[in-house]
Chains A and B, each alone.
Chain A
């Protein structure tokens, strides 16, 4: 999108922001904590104000309806909303709002009845189960759905669903959320992912980036279980995340930036504070006054509401809220990982 100049005319780099004053990688301890509460609350406020845009249309079960424009956003609202709910302190407005959003999503699927209808319509698809698991992980369950899913998920065919390794980790996490025996061992699947292979970091780009972030989300149950990240992968991520985040910022990949921040905040041990302090202020600048964050590209300066089409900003806004909640937890050294045993995976927009 733009170039980064890293030196001033005297050739003394590190003097601060680049010529556009856009960003600086100077160490600024506390910079993330200074912006994070505002980023989180305004991203959630935008989501709340646009909750009806997540509403499912009447024809959602019809074969012609675009799943990626209907069920997927709603599943993401449920997944990320429930994670934010667990990650924030009871009694705070963010905690209440996140809870409201999950309840709204649950209403939209008729307390699970609509997901059962969906499963009856497409019994061999994995996505109804993954969306259901987002709710089940939060304690919202539907007996009829589970009754039909149980024999299906015990089949050889289910265990041999053909998909990318990171997505298979998502399925394993869904099984864990629902509470059935997982169809295979997560460790073996992890080793087949781009991340698990400790891939050459200079081969990072958008698709491998999303594969990597989702590997961590599914592995850690959306940041709830950082200790599931093996030591080697923890070290690998701490080493290379700064380089990858830099490229995302320069190329205006805000959605992926948010996902990388969520990954950084899902690592075991101390928060990678230097990275969070460097990147969060930039993402905070990109966030529109109304709270939404564009997926990619030059941010709109117009303060009028709805500067971006919903489909181009809802995901990155949810991701920003999710990453902000995890980052606050990580930076505050709050070891509490949740209230009821964890979040659940949902379908993510960028999962291949």
Chain B
């Protein structure tokens, strides 16, 4: 998607937002709002749509550093959940990212007593994921990379943990295709769940993916997330 960030207002907004998440991840300081820095407020529909694309990764710096998210970001994420609910026939990936946004909000920013929660949304089905060929599996998991965070169990995460070798093959395949975003997403899952074959050389591979594909801030976002999770696992 590297050429796409200028191809539509949404792609541009996603690019800017991902850049701000990366900056927050890099600094470890999450006092400022990510959305504010990206110029997104609740009145900006393109911005809200961009938040829907970035999904729960909007709060990733807080999730990984164990801090309270900025209320402004929580509000915008909540707004994105309400504004763009999945249609009944939505693809599984869309349903899963929606579900994950809600569960992240519930975990990170439980509504104050009396406030309305975004509502419940049943955990989508993942049986199809368990049956998917490893190539399609990796592609889908990469799209769902925001679900690759610690302490956020889901059927997708269980599938990832059960198919670490398939994900590793998918990482290798993605690098060979120079699909850096997919490689970064697959690498993030492996960093989150572990179990990759030792010969994969994931650390160097992620360094390589970041350097080759880092012009897309979403690549950097996933690689940074992977590193932070790998460091936490090593402790």
Contacts and interface: CB of A to CB of B under 8 A. Distances in A.
Interface in A188-209: 198, 200-202, 204-205
Nearest to B172: A243
A200 B204 contact: yes
A80 B229 CA distance: 50
Contacts of A158: none
Interface stretch (A7-15, A66-74, A165-173): A7-15
B113 interface: no
A209 to B, nearest CB: 10
User: Main SS of the interface on chain B?
Assistant: helix
Interface in B81-95: 89, 91-94
Given A4-B135, A26-B133, A247 B205 contact: no
Interface in A1-31: 4, 6-7, 10-14, 24-26
Contact of A11 (B133, B140, B168, B176): B140
A244 B169 CA distance: 9
Interface string A230-273: 00000010011011101100100000000000000000000000
A244 B140 contact: no
Contact of A243 (B89, B91, B128, B176): B176
User: Main SS of the interface on chain A?
Assistant: loop
A200 B177 contact: no
| A interface bracket (residues with beta carbon within 8 Å of B) | 20 to 34
A332 B128 CA distance: 32
B93 A11 contact: yes
Contacts of A198: 199
Given A205-B176, A243-B176, A10 B91 contact: yes
Interface in B191-225: 197, 199-201, 204-205, 208
Contacts of B175: 202
A7 B136 contact: yes
Nearest to B165: A239
Interface in B153-212: 165, 168-173, 175-177, 183, 197, 199-201, 204-205, 208
B132 interface: yes
Interface in B36-86: none
Contact of A14 (B137, B172, B173): B137
A10 B175 CA distance: 26
A200 B199 contact: yes
Interface string B113-138: 00000000000000010011111110
A200 B135 contact: no
A14 B176 contact: no
Interface residues of B, number: 33
B139 interface: yes
A242 B94 contact: no
Nearest to A9: B91
Nearest to A7: B136
Contacts of B176: 202, 204-205, 243-244, 247
Given A6-B133, A14-B128, A202 B139 contact: no
Given A201-B200, A236-B199, A13 B132 contact: yes
B139 A242 contact: no
B53 to A, nearest CB: 15
Contacts of A200: 199-201, 204-205
A14 B138 CA distance: 11
Given A200-B201, A239-B165, A12 B133 contact: no
Given A202-B175, A202-B208, A243-B172, A12 B92 contact: yes
A177 B180 CA distance: 46
Interface in A143-199: 198
A247 B139 contact: no
A181 B191 CA distance: 49
B186 to A, nearest CB: 10
B72 to A, nearest CB: 32
A172 B91 CA distance: 56
Given A13-B132, A205-B176, A7 B140 contact: yes
Contacts of A13: 128, 132-133, 135-137, 139-140
Contacts of B197: 239
A25 B91 contact: no
14 contacts: A7-B139, A10-B89, A11-B92, A13-B133, A13-B135, A14-B128, A14-B132, A14-B136, A200-B200, A200-B201, A239-B199, A240-B169, A240-B172, A244-B172
Given A14-B137, A201-B199, A202-B183, 20 more contacts: A6-B136, A7-B136, A10-B91, A11-B93, A12-B128, A13-B136, A14-B128, A14-B132, A25-B133, A25-B135, A198-B199, A200-B205, A202-B172, A202-B201, A204-B176, A236-B199, A239-B168, A240-B199, A244-B172, A246-B135
The 7 closest A-B pairs by CB, nearest first: A13-B136, A11-B91, A14-B132, A25-B133, A6-B136, A200-B201, A243-B172
